[in-house]
Structure 1
Amino acid sequence: MLLLLQTFNKHCSKFYNHHHSRHGNRASFSVSLLQAFDAEVSSCLNQLLLLSSDSTTLSFHWLLQLLQALPVLHRAFSKLVVDLDCPVAKWGADLVDGYLNYSLNLLDLLNSVSFSLSQLGNSRLSLAYALSLVRSSPLMAVARLKPIVMKRNFVGLENRGIVVDRKKSCSGEEWAIESALVTMMGIGYWVCGIVISGCEGDSTAYLEMRRLAAGVTVPAFKELDSVVSKKGNVPEEVKEVNCAAKEVVGSGGGGDGEAAEEMRRRLERLEKAVERLVQEVDGRFSEILDGRSRLLDAFRQPKH
């Protein structure tokens, strides 16, 4: 997104005056670049597919790796725009709106992730406090050692200018960009849907975002989605903490026992996993917000 903005500012005037000498090859040129974009996206998804084969269960570590695919996806899209010599200033209004609305939707989705992670953090703190009571007050500790119950907060996504139809009358460059935008939007929403579902322990967000990814035709996407659909919705780090809590309760809350020590380790693992995911979400949010703000500022500047 930032690369797209830099290209807009640096090369706008150059691109406006640039024309390919071989007009007959423009369509095939656009198709070849779109194929390169699809290949780069497929490579990213195939890497995730390899990582997914290590475990059949969902984990926060895997959700982190999934979120890290977003900047790869955005860079591939920006590269396509640069290679096509078709900056944002040349786009039609619908295409611009679709791109800007995509970034706004991503911000909303990342906010949902942050909220769910905050709730999960509060649940972890409650368990950590309960565990701290096992030595001084075992009965009170046992009464407070309740399993983490993940809550669904996702209420849907407002449909803001989602691009679904490719205009036959648009130029080859704009057609390629619109096709790539459909792919970028679909996978971006899909990624966020999986992460939200994993943070809420509920499949609603994933299923809704997968529906918005119906226009994605990259073969690797369907294969990866098939793997994702079998992973479940509750991360293994949460399951481990809940299992450990049951063990402590079953042991009568012995503070010096192996069960209590194992639960401390698992709570620490959960804490670190959530912290890393929070940092990644914050980084993605800041990156998208900054790129969106700069792009809007560029449009507001008077043209000379």
Structure 2
Amino acid sequence: MVILVEKLGRSLKFHHRLDHNNHPNHDAEEALLASFQAFRSEVSKLLSQIMVEAKPGSEFLSLAWVHRCLEALPMIDKAFAKLVVDVDYPIGKWEAAASEAYLKHSLNVLELLNKISSSLSHLSQARLALAHGLSLIESSPSLALKHLQKIQPNDLGNDFKVEGTKRNEEQFSSRKESIIHEAMMIMISSGLWLFGIMISGLCSDVKPYFLMRKSAHNLHDPSLESLDSLLSEEIRQKSMLKEIKEVNEAAAELATKIEHRKGDAAAEILGRRLEVLEKMLQKIGKQTDCLFSEVLVARNKLLDTIRLKK
């Protein structure tokens, strides 16, 4: 996810001065742990806010919800950036393992954002086909019927996979390094979980979610596991997003009405739903493009920092 490289690259002091006359090592440890707990609490809060609408029986799986998941990614990253500043451990001090883990993760994020863009393109093409069918109703009802087909799931193929990031089980050279590593694992697991939700929803396919859910669980984030238990069954039963489901229902209803020459009201309903779908796809697409650019810039800046260290 996007790292605020400019902030991470600055070496700032702790917000709280250490009292060197009163067990300085203990006070420093307390400050580090407090910063880490603040980061962890912020991530948990962001994920919990996303799950507020996730109630059994409610139609919370929607494009609007996907957009909220997408918005959470840079917010989690900002929380990580703040932690790096608070513990006074800029990227120039990171050991190779931390830098490699972030670079690997950022590459994963770029690939996953491409998957989202591909899914949005699939939905946009399906929407255009339905809109074209809608425009043919008066001039050629029979031809219109050929275009009024349900939006089909987007098959990402068997080659869809996610490169996981394993925890570093080796001893760290410093407490700060271990805290950064642990925080990065939380950031990565949260990101994988959110991407799983988004891609499964956009593809109307449960496989991406459960694949990335497994990768996220391999990182053992307890707060993520409790939220996931509320969501997994809902996605298993209702992988299709609300707006796509409503468009498909309206298209099927219109096709039936056309055959009985009573399609005016049904055509209006489908038209309105296609407009809603178009606006949400554009909104998510714009956010996806913005995130892709930010991740790419941040990744390149981190690579530049690593080169300067050599």
TM-score in terms of structure 1 length: 0.89
What's the counterpart of residue 134 of structure 1? 137
Amino acid in the other structure paired with 1:163: K
Q: Distance in 1 between matches of 2:80 and 2:242?
A: 33
SS for the counterpart of 2:11 is helix
Query: Relative to structure 1, is the Cα distance of residues 144 and 96 closer, same or farther in structure 2, using a 3 angstrom cutoff?
Result: same
SS for the counterpart of 1:10 is coil
Contact 1:42–1:218, Cα closer than 8 Å, also in 2: no
Q: Given the alignment of the two structures, is residue 268 of structure 1 paired with residue 275 of structure 2, yes or no?
A: yes
Contact 1:166–1:175, Cα closer than 8 Å, also in 2: no
What's the counterpart of residue 242 of structure 1? 248
Q: Superposition pairs for residues 22-101 of structure 1, below 5 Å?
A: 22-53=24-55, 55-101=58-104
| Structure 2: segments with no counterpart, 5+ residues | none
Q: Deviations over 1:241-264 (max 9, x none)?
A: 111111111112548610111111
Contact 2:92–2:309, Cα closer than 8 Å, also in 1: no
Q: Distance in 1 between matches of 2:271 and 2:2?
A: 42
Q: Distance in 2 between matches of 1:270 and 1:264?
A: 10
Q: Distance in 2 between matches of 1:108 and 1:150?
A: 20
Of residues 259, 262, 274 in structure 1, which corresponds to 2:266? Answer: 259
What's the counterpart of residue 181 of structure 1? 184
Contact 1:187–1:216, Cα closer than 8 Å, also in 2: no
Between stretches 88-97 and 48-57, larger displacement belongs to 48-57
- CA drift of 1:145 comes to 1.2
Query: How much identity, in percent, do the aligned residues show?
Result: 37
SS for the counterpart of 1:234 is coil
Q: Distance in 2 between matches of 1:8 and 1:78?
A: 6
Q: Distance in 1 between matches of 2:309 and 2:190?
A: 35
What's the counterpart of residue 160 of structure 2? 156
Q: Distance in 1 between matches of 2:64 and 2:226?
A: 20
- CA drift of 1:61 comes to 0.4
Of residues 288, 294, 303 in structure 1, which corresponds to 2:301? Answer: 294
What's the counterpart of residue 202 of structure 1? 205
- CA drift of 1:50 comes to 1.5
Contact 1:152–1:200, Cα closer than 8 Å, also in 2: yes
Contact 1:48–1:65, Cα closer than 8 Å, also in 2: yes
Q: Deviations over 1:24-60 (max 9, x none)?
A: 4433332222111111111111211223349344100
Q: Distance in 2 between matches of 1:302 and 1:182?
A: 24
TM-score in terms of structure 2 length: 0.88
Query: Relative to structure 1, is the Cα distance of residues 165 and 11 closer, same or farther in structure 2, using a 3 angstrom cutoff?
Result: closer
Q: Distance in 1 between matches of 2:128 and 2:231?
A: 29
What's the counterpart of residue 6 of structure 2? 6
Q: Distance in 2 between matches of 1:268 and 1:4?
A: 36
Q: Distance in 1 between matches of 2:113 and 2:262?
A: 39
Q: Distance in 2 between matches of 1:252 and 1:135?
A: 10
Q: Distance in 2 between matches of 1:188 and 1:296?
A: 21
Between stretches 258-267 and 55-64, larger displacement belongs to 55-64
Q: Given the alignment of the two structures, is residue 279 of structure 1 paired with residue 283 of structure 2, yes or no?
A: no
Contact 2:2–2:74, Cα closer than 8 Å, also in 1: no
Query: Relative to structure 1, is the Cα distance of residues 159 and 20 closer, same or farther in structure 2, using a 3 angstrom cutoff?
Result: farther
